Amino acid sequence: MPITQKINPNCLIILPKNSGLEEYRKQFEKLGNEKIIVRAEDVPFFVELLSQKKVSCIGLTGQDLFEEYKKKNVESKVKQLKKIKWFDEKALYKKPALCLLGKKEKLLQDSTIAINKKYSNIAEALLPQNTNKIYFNGSTETAATLGLADFVFDIVYTGKSIKEAGLEIITKFSCSDIVLLGVRK
């Protein structure tokens, strides 16, 4: 059954512009519904605010980004309506994976970890407190290659950028599927 089959034609659809979700976004773009396209990490926020204004809407984003949103917004009314299995042969784990990257010979204790800001709350929950955490909007691997960080906490897709940076996967914390979000009335 297509993931778009039961979508109300009067419902606004909030879609991610991120390239990793393009294949899934295209299924929704075919629908006649009104749509807006925003950054994938902003989808839950748009669903929340528009629902508060009584706009019937749903959103599509990565499970990892929704988990981060829920950690920041524990009182949120946004719910996962459907989980869609992510599968991509080109991806290292067949889907995005949230990982700690570095060199195996380094010790995590008292180290510096470059963290992608969009995963700051997840990182705080998973990483030891006795580390120095620095936050970036991207280019976390570059921080490690320049010696600004010993480790990197970010999403891994194909693994190309970690190989180029000379890093290894130390720990894979979780993999991400796709979630359809909304506010149940």
pLDDT in tens, 119-138: 999 999 999 998 999 999 98
| The pLDDT of residue 111 | 94
Q: How many Cα atoms occupy the beta-carbon half-sphere of 52 within 13 Å?
A: 8
Q: How many Cα atoms occupy the beta-carbon half-sphere of 139 within 13 Å?
A: 7
Burial readout 64-77 (b: 16 or more C-beta within 10 A, e: otherwise) = bbbbbbbeeeeebe
Candidate from 11-20, 70-79, 143-152 with smallest mean pLDDT? 11-20
Neighbours of 2 (CB within 10 A): 8
| The pLDDT of residue 2 | 57
Greater confidence, 115 or 105?
115
Q: How far apart are CA 93 and CA 48, in angstroms?
A: 31
Shared fold status for 12-86+177-182 and 97-175: yes
Q: How far apart are CA 132 and CA 105, in angstroms?
A: 18
pTM for the complete prediction?
0.91
CATH (one of 3.10.310.10, 3.90.1300.10, 3.30.450.40, 3.40.190.10) for 97-175? 3.40.190.10
Backbone angles phi, psi at 58, to 5 degrees: -135, 160
| The pLDDT of residue 6 | 77
pLDDT in tens, 168-179: 999 999 999 999
Picking from 60, 68, 16, 58, the residue whose alpha carbon sits closest to that of residue 34 is 58
| The pLDDT of residue 14 | 96
In order of 149, 154, 174, the CA distances from 114 in angstroms are 6, 8, 18
| The pLDDT of residue 185 | 67
Residue ranges covered by each domain of the chain: 12-86+177-182, 97-175
pLDDT in tens, 67-78: 999 999 999 999
Whether domain 12-86+177-182 has CATH 3.40.50.300: no
Tokens 């195996």: give the residue: 104
| The pLDDT of residue 3 | 62
Question: Is residue 50 scored above 80 in pLDDT?
Answer: yes
Find the helix packing angle between 63-72 and 43-52, rounded to 10°: 60
| The pLDDT of residue 47 | 98
> pLDDT-based confidence at 27, cuts 50/70/90?
confident
Helices assigned H by DSSP within the chain: 22-29, 43-52, 63-72, 120-126, 140-145, 160-164
Mean of pLDDT over the chain:
92
